Amino acid sequence: MEEYIVRAGKRLRLGYTTGSCAAAAAKAAAWMLLTGRRREQIGLTTPGGVRLELAVRAIELGAGQVSCAIEKDPGDDPDVTRGTLIFAAVSKRDGPGVWIDGGAGVGRVTRPGLDQPVGAAAINSVPRKMIRENVGEVCRALDYRGGLSVVISAPEGEALAKKTFNPRLGIAGGISILGTTGIVEPMSEQALVDTIRLELSQRRAGGAEYVLLTPGNYGAEFIRTSLGLDPERAVQTSNFIGESLDLCRELGFRGALLVGHIGKLVKLAGGMLNTHSKYGDCRMELLAAHAGAAGLDAAGSGAVLACVSCDEALRVLREHGICEETLRRLTGRVELHLANRAGEQLRTGAILFSKAFGLLGETGQAPALLQHIREG
C-alpha cells in the first residue's frame, strides 16, 4: 500500500487493519469456492473509502472448502501483527446468509463490556460487516443464493496476543480482528484511547462504580507493593489522563483515583492532562514555582531548575527543608485540575510517589476513593 500521511514533519506510510485482511481473504476464498478457479489478487474498498489491491497467499482449494490468507501490513505503525497471515476458510452451508466465526489464533471474549458478547470470537462489528458485504458482493456477482460459512484464523495469533492488551481486556486465546476505517494510521493516538475506552467499559459493565487509573508500569508496581492491590485492577491510561477522565464521566463512574509517579503527575499541576513530552516538559518549572511559593530562595529555585529528574529535584527540596510544603501546594493544584476536567459528576483523586522516596502526597478525596475501590 502506497498511501502516506505527514505527522510531525515525517512522511509515514499507511497500512491496513486485520479487519481488512479478514474481509479480503474471505472475499477471495468465496470467489474461488464458487468459481473453482484460483485467484492471486483481490480488490477491496475499505469503509474509509480507500481502495486496496492485495496479494492472496497460502491458497488451498478443496472439494467443499477454500482457504487463503492476506498478509497484515500496518505501514509505518509499530504493530505487533506486522507480517502475520490472516486466513479465511469459506464453505457452503444450509440456509441463506453469511455465518462468521473465529478459528485458531483469533481470541474469544471472556468478559462483558467489549464490542462482542461473551463467548463470541473477537471479530469486531465493522470487520464483520466488511466480511458480509464483500462475500455478499461475490455471491451476487456469481448469482449464488445459498449460505456461506466464513472462519477467520491467525496461526500466530495466540503468541502475538501476549504482546497486546487482549489478556487484560478479557480476550483469550488470540488476537482481535479490528478496524473502523479499514486503514491503519501510524502512531494513532485514537487507537490507544479506544483501548482505554474498552477497558473502562468492561469495568463499568461488571458493576464497578469507582475505578483505579495509572499511567503505566511504575504506577502498577506501586499499586501492588505499597497499596496492596492487584495491579490488574487498574486501567492504564498512558499519557491520556484527561481523555480517561472524560471516558469515566461518560461511562457513568462515580469516582476515579489516579496513582502515578511524580515525573508524570507533576505536569497535572500545570493543567497538562496529556502528559506526553511532545506537548511540553514543565516538570522542573512547576516544582520550582511551587517551591518558590513555599519560600525557597532564588538560588534554591535555580538549583531545582538545573535538575534533570524529579527525584534529583526532590533531593534539593529536602536539603532546603521545604519538600513537604512544596508537595502539599503542588498536590493541591493537581487536585484542582483533575476536578476541573472531571466536572461535578465524577469524584477524582490522585496519589503521587517516586521510586526513590515512596509516597509523596495525595489529594483530599484520595483516601475515600481508595476505600471504595478496596470494597468494590
Contact 243, 189 (CB under 8 A): no
Section 312-328 average pLDDT: 96
Cell of 81: 501483527
In percent, how much of the chain has pLDDT > 90?
82
Q: 187 falls in which pLDDT band (50, 70, 90)?
A: low
Section 234-262 average pLDDT: 96
**Does 162 lie in the same domain as 246?**
no
Domain termination site, one of 137, 152, 184: 184
DSSP string, 281-296: --HHHHHHHHHHHTT-
Contact 90, 149 (CB under 8 A): yes
Give the integer Cα–Cα distance in Å for 277 and 258: 19
Give the integer Cα–Cα distance in Å for 227 and 211: 14
Per-residue pLDDT at 100: 98
Question: Would the pLDDT of 107 be above 80?
Answer: yes
**Does 13 lie in the same domain as 109?**
yes
**Does 229 lie in the same domain as 115?**
no
Per-residue pLDDT at 38: 97
Per-residue pLDDT at 247: 97
Provide φ and ψ at 165, rounded to 5°: -80, -5
Section 257-267 average pLDDT: 96
**What angle is formed at CA 202 by the lines to CA 200 and CA 205, rounded to 5 degrees?**
110
**Does 204 lie in the same domain as 127?**
no
In percent, how much of the chain has pLDDT > 70?
98
Domain termination site, one of 164, 184, 204: 184
For 238, residues 6+ apart whose C-beta sits below 8 A from its C-beta are 192, 196, 215, 216
Could you tell me which residues are beta bridge partners of residue 123?
177
Contact 137, 202 (CB under 8 A): no
pLDDT tens-place string over residues 31-76: 999 999 999 999 999 998 999 999 999 999 998 999 999 999 999 8
Residue 370: give the domain boundaries: 189-375
E-state strands within 78-146: 85-93, 98-102, 108-109
Per-residue pLDDT at 8: 53
**Does 314 lie in the same domain as 279?**
yes
Per-residue pLDDT at 11: 81
Give the integer Cα–Cα distance in Å for 254 and 345: 7
Per-residue pLDDT at 150: 98
**Does 212 lie in the same domain as 137?**
no
Asked whether the CA dihedral 81, 82, 85, 86 is positive or negative, the reply is positive
**Does 202 lie in the same domain as 165?**
no
Per-residue pLDDT at 155: 97
Question: Would the pLDDT of 1 be above 90?
Answer: no
**Does 271 lie in the same domain as 153?**
no
**Does 110 lie in the same domain as 11?**
yes
Question: Would the pLDDT of 185 be above 60?
Answer: yes
Question: Would the pLDDT of 186 be above 90?
Answer: no
**Does 194 lie in the same domain as 172?**
no
Domain termination site, one of 131, 149, 184: 184
**Does 165 lie in the same domain as 23?**
yes
User: How many folded domains does the chain comprise?
Assistant: 2
pLDDT tens-place string over residues 115-165: 899 999 999 999 999 999 999 999 999 999 999 999 999 999 999 999 887
Section 297-326 average pLDDT: 94
Q: What is the CATH number of the domain that holds 13?
A: 3.30.2110.10
Per-residue pLDDT at 6: 73
**Does 350 lie in the same domain as 271?**
yes
Asked whether the CA dihedral 10, 275, 289, 316 is positive or negative, the reply is negative
> Environment class of residue 162 by beta-carbon count within 10 Å: exposed (0-12), middle (13-18) or buried (19+)?
exposed
Question: Would the pLDDT of 242 be above 80?
Answer: yes
Average pLDDT over the chain reads: 93
